[in-house]
Structure 1
């Protein structure tokens, strides 16, 4: 396989995290000779975040496999329509349908503990009223986001979490790239941030190749980087010319 036919992996983090959450996965991928890019996800809205990720993908030479964690799954669902994207990997993530919002997908299932442990803040919007963003309360973060990660680590993650614009929950996906591109999905069996049934429903609807990570928290990329990387490598191999 040559560089031009072996996909680059573009990792998209979700809400309440940043690109460093992929550190263990990046190490595993690079050890296997896989090219990786892990840009920041702006977390300002589904359409704008997807446009940003799609623009990054479009500037990568050769094919790209997008891997999205959590809200990042919704982002890659839309950004995956970029011409050079050849596969999608959902990691404890939302796989939306075209015309569907996060709120609509979640509303079909019992809410996770995340819903009652969000704190609202505001941020300035040029030419308009302040907008609302949400983050997980620091005291609830360890159990909800990363119960299988050492406490001293989760306490730092709680303090450094990046908030999500509240408006993102109501935005609908303009396209569902999984309808035309192959998908893979890892379901975090003990996820307290997204109901695992939400992850599983979206993955099955997308026709994804599914791996179940029993007992894994929402932060499965942090706690089980080898498992996450293995699924991404499977997608890379399957989409390599």
Structure 2
């Protein structure tokens, strides 16, 4: 091999090395940019309601996680509006960055009271959820317009040692009342694992509502038998909802029967202003 050939070979190796190095750097840049984009997404905090538990969000969570959102499904104690809101508030205080707070059913009353001037909460999403004003109760709101058939489906209250009462839905009435658009086999499992709410919680007056200062989004089903659609429409209009979606034929558990629609609303609430 003569010197000229050797020098050409060295030059070619340098060019290849430089190209590969640039490619690696570019690839790393794309990875870092993607990571930064994911890091910029708000944390979605989901709060379940009465007669449910955190797994009621599973279908929504699966889709949000796949889209790169940080998520937390809070185990709502279901003991009382103020105490439950304080618990959720403590969870929010441990989250860095912006938050979209989502509440289903009674969980809506909880998120209404849980913000406590937390500047990280950028949006509220009510999924078939109560959005009470000061002094209002879940029980009073659900009966403000005709359509709720929850009362007759409740099982005999379970007496508590503190004098209170826990409420459940009768298992044989759970499907028709709570989740009529969910397969019967699934609702049997839901009925068996339902978590009770205290009677006092449903009759506890709400505090100053976060929806007066935090933007809100609403989604609910037209065939909700727990919180009539007319009640939810009233609350959404009063809160100056940024977007209100009514899912035709959906039951009270619209996040289970129509998770794509719920995820879409959450993403709208999570979008940069």
Distance 1:215 1:86 in 2: 30
Residue 264 of structure 2 is aligned to residue 230 of structure 1: yes
**What TM-score do you get using the length of structure 2 for normalisation?**
0.83
Offset at residue 5 of structure 1 (A): 4.7
- Name structure 2 gaps, 5 residues minimum: 1-35
Q: Distance in 2 between matches of 1:222 and 1:233?
A: 17
For this pair of structures, how many residues does the alignment match? 235
Q: Which runs of 4+ in 1 moved over 6 A?
A: none
RMSD: 1.4
**Is the 8 Å Cα contact of residues 81 and 175 (structure 1) preserved in structure 2?**
no
| Rg larger in structure | 2
Measure how far apart 1:17 and its partner are.
Answer: 0.4
C-alpha displacement of 1:132: 0.4
Distance 2:252 2:147 in 1: 14
- Contact 1:188–1:216 (Cα < 8 Å) also in 2: yes
Deviation at 1:36, TM superposition (A): 0.5
**Preserved contact between residue 135 and residue 207 of structure 2 (Cα < 8 Å):** yes
2:130 maps to what in 1? Answer: 94
Mapped contact 2:142–2:226 kept (Cα < 8 A): no
Note if contact 2:38-2:68 (Cα within 8 Å) is conserved in structure 1: no
Please tell me whether residue 217 in structure 1 is matched to residue 251 in structure 2: yes
The CA distance in 1 between the partners of 2:127 and 2:250, in whole Å, is 11
Confirm whether residue 165 of structure 1 aligns to residue 220 of structure 2: no
Per-residue Cα deviation, 1:81-140 (whole angstroms, up to 9, x for no partner): 341211100001111112211123223212511111112112223xxxx31011111111
Residues 188-214 of structure 1: CA deviation (Å, up to 9, x unaligned):
111112111111111111111201111
Give the alignment partner of residue 116 of structure 1, picking from 145, 152, 167. Answer: 152
Q: Compute the displacement of 1:218 (Å).
A: 0.7
Higher normalized contact order (CA 8 Å, seq sep 6+, divided by chain length): 1
1:106 equivalent in structure 2: 142
What does residue range 168-207 of structure 1 map to in structure 2 within 5 Å? 168-207=201-240
Q: Which one has a larger percent helix, Structure 1 or Structure 2?
A: 2
Residue 38 of structure 1 and its aligned partner are, at CA, apart by 0.4
Q: Distance in 1 between matches of 2:272 and 2:260?
A: 18
Instruction: Output the CA distance in 2 between the equivalents of 1:24 and 1:47.
Output: 28
